[in-house]
């Protein structure tokens, strides 16, 4: 992890530093070919890629209801208790997100309303390349269930058998349609479907660069489907002052770096001593991590930057728009309103990102790649869409008619004006 000082760095260099790892053209071309193949050949093609890239060797891609039902028996009490705790907190927080319908009279005798409906068919992408992620299934399955989605499909890459922890999380969420497939090929299968697997309407869930590229491709295809957000590899930005414990800060950076080789972690601080000690702690702690090789690759994309002040750090953070933002400092409350762009924020020394990743209640499916400037994290509303309604009485119609006719004439849309005029000539 390289170290830089704000006072010695040019604007051009700063721009380069904060740039995310890019998907190479040859990789994008590979994803395009996979997506096109599955759009044309369906499940047969998808299975070919599952065997090639995931090592899938099972006979049936679909998880049986018996496997889901028996998952609980294969877990120890501690694992079940942890999943149940996370389930309760996530459900509690997300129940408050259910959107409210409303109706109002915008003008005399003109009534308008807005109502929410669940998306009927949704697909949940659960990453599983290096580890099973029951937490992601909870983060997506719970709001989907609260929203009232009729069909919830989950997919995840696997060689043969799925981790019982993931299946138990699915059981708690009431999800019984699960397929052992992931990657760009899994995304394409969800988007286009097959004779045996009905396509879905919207795909949710994080993933690597290949998954992100596939989601983007199917979302712009008229025959594809919508996606939650164009997100990519995980990232965290930590702002630490002189009061921060370097051991804690290093641990938070490493916890995100272990996600994948293309993850990015950033430390901003006005204290040169903190940066020095954090780097020392990173070297010490990473040697105890089984995923040290992945962490080392991630750290190549990462850096620490000595800034002039906390305000400078906040400004740079807003510019970067991190997926996760940690403020490990004494007076974090005074900076709350200055935070404009971030997926999820963690305040103080005892709010590690791990809490939000698993069990505090907030959602960990968040915008990356700078998309926190325009997207929020997954919520109950993400699994719904709104419909507006309007009705006008005779008096309301007559009062509003002249304005509508005039606006239609300004825009040279005579048929719009005519739809009003034919009603105006009738006697009421």
- Domain holding 288: CATH number? 3.40.50.1980
**Residue 279 and residue 152 share a domain:** no
**Residue 30 and residue 17 share a domain:** no
**Residue 153 and residue 15 share a domain:** no
**Residue 306 and residue 269 share a domain:** yes
pLDDT of res. 222: 67
Instruction: For residue 210, give Cα distances in angstroms to 328, 387, 416.
Output: 33, 34, 46
Specify if 152 maps to a domain.
yes
Specify if 191 maps to a domain.
yes
**Residue 411 and residue 308 share a domain:** no
Specify if 381 maps to a domain.
no
Residue 363, both tokens: 């959602």
Active site annotation includes 324: yes
Q: Give me the domain span that covers residue 322.
A: 2-21+233-361
Specify if 376 maps to a domain.
no
pLDDT of res. 130: 65
**Residue 259 and residue 147 share a domain:** no
**Residue 195 and residue 301 share a domain:** no
How big is the CA angle at 320 (ends 314 and 322), to the nearest 5 degrees?
A: 85
Distance CA 250, CA 1 (A): 11
> Which candidate in 94, 259, 324, 364 is catalytic?
324
**Residue 262 and residue 341 share a domain:** yes
Specify if 371 maps to a domain.
no
pLDDT of res. 129: 66
Three-state SS at 46: helix
* Element housing 359 (H / E): none
pLDDT of res. 372: 95
Strand order in the sheet with 226-227: 177-179, 151-155, 121-125, 202-204, 226-227
> Which candidate in 323, 353, 381, 416 is catalytic?
323
Distance CA 42, CA 196 (A): 9
For 364-384, give one letter per residue: b (16+ CB within 10 A) or e. Answer: bbbbbbbbbeebbbbbbebbb
Specify if 369 maps to a domain.
no
Active site annotation includes 427: no
Specify if 296 maps to a domain.
yes
Q: Which of the listed residues 337, 361, 385 is the one where a domain comes to its end? A: 361
**Residue 46 and residue 175 share a domain:** yes
Beta-carbon contacts of 223 under 8 Å, excluding residues fewer than 6 positions away, are 39, 192
Per-residue pLDDT of the chain (428 residues; tens, 9 = 90+): 899 998 888 898 899 888 887 766 677 899 999 999 999 999 999 999 999 998 898 778 999 999 999 999 999 999 999 999 999 999 999 999 999 999 999 999 999 999 999 999 999 999 986 678 999 999 999 999 999 999 999 999 988 788 999 999 999 999 999 999 999 999 999 999 999 999 999 999 988 888 989 999 999 986 779 999 987 788 999 999 999 999 999 999 999 999 888 899 999 999 999 999 999 999 999 999 999 999 999 999 899 999 999 999 999 999 999 999 999 999 999 999 999 999 999 999 999 999 999 999 999 999 998 999 999 999 999 999 999 999 999 999 999 999 999 999 999 999 999 999 999 887 54
**Residue 349 and residue 420 share a domain:** no
Distance CA 412, CA 180 (A): 55
Counting every residue, how long is the chain? Answer: 428
Q: What is the pTM of this model?
A: 0.93
Specify if 36 maps to a domain.
yes
How big is the CA angle at 220 (ends 215 and 224), to the nearest 5 degrees?
A: 70
**Residue 256 and residue 222 share a domain:** no
For 36-66, give one letter per residue: b (16+ CB within 10 A) or e. Answer: ebbbeebbebbbbbbeebbebebeebebeee
Question: Domain count of the chain?
Answer: 3
**Residue 97 and residue 121 share a domain:** yes
E-strand spans in 97-223?
Answer: 102-107, 110-118, 121-125, 151-155, 177-179, 202-204
């Amino acid at each position: 992890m390289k170290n830089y000082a704000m006072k010695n760095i040019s604007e051009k260099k700063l721009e380069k530093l904060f740039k995310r790892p890019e998907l190479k053209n040859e990789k994008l071309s590979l994803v395009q070919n996979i997506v096109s193949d599955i759009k044309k050949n369906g499940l047969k093609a998808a299975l070919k890629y599952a065997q090639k890239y995931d090592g899938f060797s099972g006979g049936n891609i679909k998880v049986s209801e018996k496997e889901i039902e028996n998952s609980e028996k294969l877990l120890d009490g501690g694992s079940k208790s942890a999943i149940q705790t996370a389930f309760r907190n996530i459900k509690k927080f997300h129940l408050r997100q259910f959107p409210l319908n409303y109706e109002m009279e915008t003008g005399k005798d003109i009534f308008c309303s807005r109502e929410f409906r669940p998306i009927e068919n949704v697909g949940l992408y659960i990453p599983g390349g290096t580890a099973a992620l029951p937490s992601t299934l909870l983060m997506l399955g719970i709001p989907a269930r609260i929203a009232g989605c009729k069909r919830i499909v989950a997919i995840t890459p696997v060689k043969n058998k799925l981790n019982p922890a993931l299946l138990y999380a699915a059981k708690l969420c009431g999800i019984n349609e699960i397929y052992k497939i992931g990657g760009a090929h899994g995304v394409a299968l969800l988007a286009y479907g097959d004779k045996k697997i009905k396509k879905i309407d919207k795909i949710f869930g994080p993933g690597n660069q290949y998954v992100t590229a596939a989601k983007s491709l199917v979302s712009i295809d008229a025959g594809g489907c919508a996606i939650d957000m164009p997100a990519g590899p995980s990232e965290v930005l930590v702002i630490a002052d002189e009061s921060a414990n370097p051991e804690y800060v290093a641990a938070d950076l490493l916890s995100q770096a272990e996600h994948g080789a293309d993850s990015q972690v950033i430390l901003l601080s006005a204290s040169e001593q903190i940066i020095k000690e954090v780097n020392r702690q990173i070297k010490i702690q990473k040697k105890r991590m089984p995923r040290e090789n992945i962490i080392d690759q991630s750290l190549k994309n990462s850096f620490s930057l000595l800034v002039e002040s906390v305000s400078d750090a906040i400004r740079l953070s807003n510019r970067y728009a991190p997926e996760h933002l940690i403020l490990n400092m004494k007076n974090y409350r005074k900076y709350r309103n200055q935070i404009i762009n971030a997926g999820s924020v963690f305040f103080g020394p005892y709010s590690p990102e791990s809490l939000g990743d698993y069990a505090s209640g907030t959602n960990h499916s968040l915008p990356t790649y700078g998309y926190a400037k325009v997207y929020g994290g997954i919520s109950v509303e993400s699994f719904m869409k709104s419909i507006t309604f309007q009705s006008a009485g005779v008096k309301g119609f007559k009062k509003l008619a002249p304005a509508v006719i005039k606006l239609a004439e300004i825009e040279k849309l005579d048929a719009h004006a005519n739809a009003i005029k034919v009603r105006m000539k009738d006697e009421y």
